[in-house]
C-alpha cells in the first residue's frame, strides 16, 4: 500500500488517535500540505468528528464501518462510491 501514498498514519503512529484533530493535522504537516486545502474522507462518526475537530470538510463514504445511519453522522457531502469523485473534490479545492 505504501507505493500509492506519500505517508500512512495508523493508530500507533502518534500518541493520540482520532477524533483528536492532531491525527489529521499532523499528517498534513508531515507531508507539507495545506490544512486549508485538506478534506477528510471517511466512513464513520469517528472520522467525521476528526474532520470537524480539525475544522476541515468531511466527505462520508456511505455504508462504512459503523452501525450508524448516514443521517446520524455529520458530513458535508456523502457518496456511495468513487465514481466521478473528482467532481466532489473540486467543490472544495
pLDDT beneath 50: ranges in the chain: none
**Cα dihedral across residues 58, 74, 80, 18: positive or negative:** positive
Closest of 22, 25, 18 to residue 44, by C-alpha: 18
Looking at residue 64, its pLDDT comes to: 84
Question: Does 2-90 carry CATH code 3.40.50.1000?
Answer: yes
**Domain chopping of the chain, boundaries:** 2-90
Residues 6-16 pLDDT 10s: 899 999 999 99
What is the pTM for the complete model shown? 0.90
**Burial group, residue 4, by CB count within 10 angstroms (0-12, 13-18, 19+):** exposed
Amino acid at each position: 500500500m505504501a507505493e500509492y501514498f506519500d505517508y500512512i498514519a495508523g493508530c500507533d503512529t502518534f500518541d493520540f488517535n482520532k477524533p483528536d484533530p492532531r491525527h489529521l493535522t499532523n499528517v498534513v504537516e508531515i507531508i507539507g500540505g495545506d490544512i486549508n486545502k485538506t478534506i477528510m474522507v471517511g466512513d464513520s462518526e469517528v472520522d467525521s468528528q476528526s474532520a470537524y475537530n480539525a475544522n476541515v470538510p468531511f466527505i462520508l463514504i456511505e455504508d462504512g464501518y459503523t452501525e450508524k445511519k448516514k443521517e446520524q453522522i455529520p458530513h458535508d457531502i456523502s457518496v456511495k462510491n468513487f465514481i466521478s469523485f473528482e467532481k466532489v473534490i473540486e467543490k472544495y479545492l
